[in-house]
Chains A and B, each alone.
Chain A
Amino acid sequence: GQQVQQSPASLVLQEGENAELQCNFSSTATQLQWFYQSPGGSLVSLLSNPSGTKHTGRLTSTTVTKERRSSLHISSSQTTDSGTYLCAIDITAQVVGQLTFGRGTRLQVYA
């Protein structure tokens, strides 16, 4: 079965609304990263958050390791936030980071 499941699959918001993205994983993760993939395909690392809560700008990620879930909260969404948000975990202890990706949440923000 799929090791990383993300929900919702897609989300449509009006500018200014908040977004809540979920990531559930089936294996114990030594690392968890949230990525943003632009419509053009480029992948940008947003947050590394294997446990606890982290903030950066309008983004807040909360990972509950024992429950194998993580969330990404986007506050006051903007049209430029549109794209795909990917959750990826590393279940190994290798230094390089052998990530397993979810299928992503496609976010569309309208003005």
Chain B
Amino acid sequence: GALVYQYPRRTICKSGTSMRMECQAVGFQATSVAWYRQSPQKTFELIALSTVNSAIKYEQNFTQEKFPISHPNLSFSSMTVLNAYLEDRGLYLCGARLPGKSQNTLYFGAGTRLSVL
């Protein structure tokens, strides 16, 4: 069964509006969550790494002002795409490490596909 649940699966927003997506670890505690984006015709880019009770680390092309992340407990993380525009289209994935499994093995949710009109 699914270990990482993402909601919503698909969403459409108007250009300039914001969209919040959620990531839930099912049956385990995810101390760290990685958010990725797959833009059309591109591979996955890391947006940020979020660790509970630690500062969130954003990659070079992504900022907290644009993609604020909340990671309030060990099973839940959310990310918002603020002021979404066409270039923000894509599949957003969150990945979490399953405790007890081999180190650094990431398990992903099914993703949230964002379309921007």
Contacts and interface: CB of A to CB of B under 8 A. Distances in A.
Interface of A: 30-31, 33, 35, 41-45, 48, 86, 88, 90, 94-104
Contact of B104 (A41, A44, A86, A95): A95
B117 interface: no
25 contacts: A31-B102, A31-B103, A31-B104, A31-B105, A41-B111, A41-B113, A42-B111, A43-B111, A45-B105, A45-B108, A48-B102, A86-B43, A88-B44, A90-B104, A94-B32, A95-B97, A95-B104, A96-B33, A96-B51, A96-B104, A98-B49, A99-B34, A99-B46, A101-B43, A102-B43
B94 to A, nearest CB: 10
A97 B34 contact: yes
Interface residues of B, number: 26
Given A45-B106, A95-B31, 4 more contacts: A94-B104, A97-B105, A99-B36, A103-B43
A35 B43 CA distance: 12
Main secondary structure of the interface of B (DSSP, over half): strand
